Amino acid sequence: MKVYFFKFLILCIITISISCENDSENDLIDVTPPVTVVTYDNNVKAIIDNNCTSCHNDPPINFAPMPLLTFDQVKEAVDNRGLLDRVSSEDTNFLMPAGGPRLPQTTIDIILQWNTDGLLEQ
């Protein structure tokens, strides 16, 4: 009886150690659904409206230098005014939205992907 129990115990230990093995991060499976193409209308506009337009309105307030109400204004801010650096910054003196907190990284990633995808409107 002790021999069977001992064999069973060894078999369990081997099975557990083999089944829990992970040699590298490359073995992990990404279950995040792929995002096709990020566009201003479908993805970015809501982020800007919910986080930026309280200051970047027309006229801008709280020392905001420009409005961010339209596609063209936001695209201009990405192209020429450092919007990507501002929303990505960890520096609280440079961070947008002003006064923080910093946007969640997943939200920042959407804006960065919009830039990578070509700053498409629709």
Q: What is the pLDDT of residues 50-100, one digit of tens each?
A: 999 999 999 999 999 999 999 999 999 999 999 999 999 988 888 888 887
Quick check: is 64 in a domain?
A: yes
Q: What is the DSSP string of the chain?
A: -HHHHHHHHHHHHHHHHHHT----GGGS---PPPP---BIIIIIHHHHHHHTTTTSSSS--TT--S---SHHHHHHHHHHS-HHHHHH---TTT-SSTT-PPPPHHHHHHHHHHHHTT-B--
Query: Would residue 90 count as lying in a domain?
Result: yes
The answer as to whether 112 is a domain residue is yes
Least confident of 1-5, 26-30, 65-69, 83-87: 26-30
pLDDT at 49 over 80: yes
- In a domain, residue 31? The reply is no
Residue 56's domain comprises 40-116
Per the structure, the count of domains in the chain is 1
**108 found inside a domain:** yes
Per the domain annotation, does 85 fall within a domain?
yes
Q: Is residue 18 part of a domain?
A: no
In a domain, 33, yes or no: no
Give the pTM.
0.69
Model confidence at 10: pLDDT above 90: no
